[in-house]
Structure 1
Amino acid sequence: MQCAVFAYDELLYRNFGKNDPADFRMVSGILRLATKYLVDSLRTKALVHLSKAWPTSLKGWDAREDLARADEMQSGLGISNIYPSPADVVILAREVNAPSLLHSAFYDLSRYHYTQIFEQDDESGPSIAHLPLSNDDMQRLALGKEASQHAITTLIRSMGSHSHPLLLGHHTHSHRSCRRDFSELVALATQHYLFDRERGCTDPLYVAEELGQPLYDFGQASGADDARFGESRRSAEVSECEACARALAMWTTRERERMWKMIPLWFRLDV
């Protein structure tokens, strides 16, 4: 049997796919064999390949999401099926002892609404609740979803603080004008993500990225050539000064890095 597994080593190396569901089924099967028969080189190659879709770095996550958004634009459906179910990735990671896959998988899984998790969809297949996630992992998911939702609320609230560092320093506009602009941004974000529960309402990394975009218009997609996939722009009425725009971009970067580092804590992955 080991000879067959070694033969798969070269086969896998030559036939890396795009980390889509079909590719995941092939690679996960080979990873299970490599783990069972202690073929370390094959196991390493499989994990490196899977880590492109389930990375441990924020840079890797952003690259993954860019591909998903490109797929959404190409399909025209507003959704992407480019990656397998994150629940399947959690199950695989537990089976083969690959904790490096859990960071992204749990975060991706937390972006699903509870109806998607617990109710069966004829188009997408059985609900995640019917997949053999352990009770401990279901608990981790629930705790992580609560923490990530709280992160969005905290993120938006922090922008409305009168003592926020974004409102300090030198401005080409008056402090009053900048405060008004940020107050409008906070109100728009609150309505869009917390009340209307629009796109991104379960994804704090996405929310932080969007809040840092200049000329952002919540809920209205832009057809501009320079618009990023799946993103929109803020209305011209919210015209923070150049200094605030730079500060906002830096704040967004810091917040996204901070939240990424918090994911293992949110989902109790170190416990």
Structure 2
Amino acid sequence: MSSNALNAPKAALITITKSESFYLTDGDIVLFSLPKDNVVTAFRVDRVFLRRSSPVLEGMLALPSSKDVELYDNVPLIKLQDETEHLTMFLNALYDPGCLPWKKHDADTVRTVEGILLLANKYEADHLRKRIIDLLERDWPSELSDWDINEAELAVKAESGTFRTKNSILDPCEAIRLARKCDVPSILPAAFYYLSSIQGVSDRHLPDSLEKILSKGSGLGIAGFSLLSAEDLRCLLVGRDAILHLFRDYFREADGKVRSYIKHSNLDHEDCQRRWRRFEDGLRLEVLHYDIDPLLVMKRDTDSFEVRCLAERPCDHCLEEFFSSLSRNREILWEQLPSLFMLDS
């Protein structure tokens, strides 16, 4: 016997354990998970149900009636290359779709659905993939009106103290990583915009208290920046800079329309100009120097200025001209997010 043979390491012993959730007594096929720490998990399930759920599984489970088919516990055995945790969650979602997350603004949603979505993609379980994407798009919508609803809901939660720990806040970096990994491009623009509005390095992995993190910006701001690839960090930096430049252009455009309106109208020029300069200075200070969430600013000031003291207001004509211009550009900005963050390619 050669010395190599004598010194060869012994093959690791594999332990087979039955799934606590999916080892059905009436199941007619067994699935083995990928070994982890020399442990394989066995899932005993219904073959017909799985074949109906996935065209890929339909082909894999269409076993020939042959004596060569490997058996386990007296039923056919299929060895898969999927992790136990992912298989458990995937089967659970197939058998009970109601187990999927249903709450909006739940920080655990991305982490909960990742394994399910990976296998839904792999096995082409399109109905399950669609359900998960619908869930993700509630938090990261493609429509500006839905974004506004989310922002209002999150503001209420923040004021009520709902977000008490770092892990209770939505993380746009987790959403971006999932979108890249599982091919869900529809949620990327909203996630990148949300991330761009976070001021400073508010990373959930830093040892800051929640109060300190929230005090860094105007609103909820926390993310796991370390989850982003180098390319996505580049997309973020380019997009954030482009948005601020665009907003400055929008502000100047709206301001110019008001000044032109004052000049060519029958209004009290001196009074209108004085009031407008005071309003403009305050808004410019907030937007161009402190606030990096233009969508919120354009909407917030449109709404909140209506309740200010009448003595401080520019006239209704000036305000209407200014806010109608900002409102139109707000929609344009939202539509441009994919290109601003270089997501079109």
With the length of structure 1 as denominator, give the TM-score of the two structures: 0.78
Shift of 1:248: 3.3
In structure 1, C-alpha distance between the alignment counterparts of 2:113 and 2:165, rounded to whole Å: 24
CA contact (8 A) 2:255 2:322 kept: no
CA contact (8 A) 2:104 2:138 kept: no
Equivalent AA in structure 2 for residue 245 of structure 1? L
C-alpha RMSD over aligned residues: 3.3
CA contact (8 A) 1:160 1:183 kept: no
SS in 2 for 1:56: coil
Number of residue pairs aligned between Structure 1 and Structure 2: 249
**Gapped runs of 5+ residues in structure 2?**
1-30, 32-48, 51-87, 214-221
Sort the Cα spacing of 1:61 and 1:168 in 2 relative to 1 into closer, same or farther, 3 A: farther
In structure 2, C-alpha distance between the alignment counterparts of 1:78 and 1:19, rounded to whole Å: 14
In structure 2, C-alpha distance between the alignment counterparts of 1:42 and 1:69, rounded to whole Å: 31
The corresponding residue for 2:189 is 103
Shift of 1:235: 4.8
| 1:81-112 Cα deviation digits (max 9, x unpaired) | 76521000000000111100101000001011
Sort the Cα spacing of 1:9 and 1:176 in 2 relative to 1 into closer, same or farther, 3 A: farther
Structure 2 residue 286 is matched with structure 1 residue 192: yes
- Residue in structure 1 matching 2:141, options 55, 58, 80: 55
**Gapped runs of 5+ residues in structure 1?**
217-232
The corresponding residue for 1:262 is 336
- Residue in structure 2 matching 1:8, options 74, 93, 98: 93
The corresponding residue for 2:70 is none
CA contact (8 A) 1:143 1:266 kept: yes
Structure 2 residue 185 is matched with structure 1 residue 89: no
In structure 1, C-alpha distance between the alignment counterparts of 2:205 and 2:317, rounded to whole Å: 47
The corresponding residue for 1:215 is 305
Q: Which has the higher contact order (CA 8 A, sep 6+)?
A: 1
CA contact (8 A) 1:68 1:82 kept: no
Identity of aligned residues (%): 25
- Residue in structure 2 matching 1:246, options 320, 325, 341: 320
The corresponding residue for 1:144 is 239
Pick the structure with more strand per residue.
Answer: 2
The corresponding residue for 2:132 is 46
CA contact (8 A) 1:121 1:127 kept: no
In structure 2, C-alpha distance between the alignment counterparts of 1:166 and 1:117, rounded to whole Å: 45
| 1:158-206 Cα deviation digits (max 9, x unpaired) | 34326656547766x42333332222122001222334x2xxx110101
SS in 2 for 1:20: coil
CA contact (8 A) 1:69 1:80 kept: no
Q: Which has the larger radius of gyration?
A: 2
